[in-house]
Amino acid sequence: MYTALLKHIHHYCPLNKAEEQAVIESFNLLELKKKSLILEAGQFCKTNYFVSKGCLRLFFFNDKGVEQTTQFAIENWWISDYTSLALKKPSEFYLQTVEDSSIMVLESAAEEALFERVPKLERYFRLMFQRAYGASQHLAKYNHNLSREAHYRHFSKSFPDFVQRIPQYMLASFLGFTPEFLSKIRAKKDQPIS
CATH code, 15:
2.60.120.10
pLDDT recorded at residue 152: 87
In 3D space, the residue among 29, 39, 46, 82 whose CA is nearest the CA of residue 60 turns out to be: 39
Greatest alpha-carbon span in the chain: 65
| 179 located within any domain | no
The total of structural domains in the chain comes to 1
| 16 located within any domain | yes
State the pTM of this model: 0.89
pLDDT recorded at residue 175: 87
| 178 located within any domain | no
pLDDT recorded at residue 193: 42
Q: What is the spatial distance between Cα 88 and Cα 113, in angstroms, rounded to a whole number?
A: 18
pLDDT recorded at residue 142: 79
* Residues composing the chain: 194
- pLDDT averaged per 10 residues, the chain (length 194): 92 96 96 97 97 96 92 94 95 97 96 96 94 84 81 86 88 87 78 45
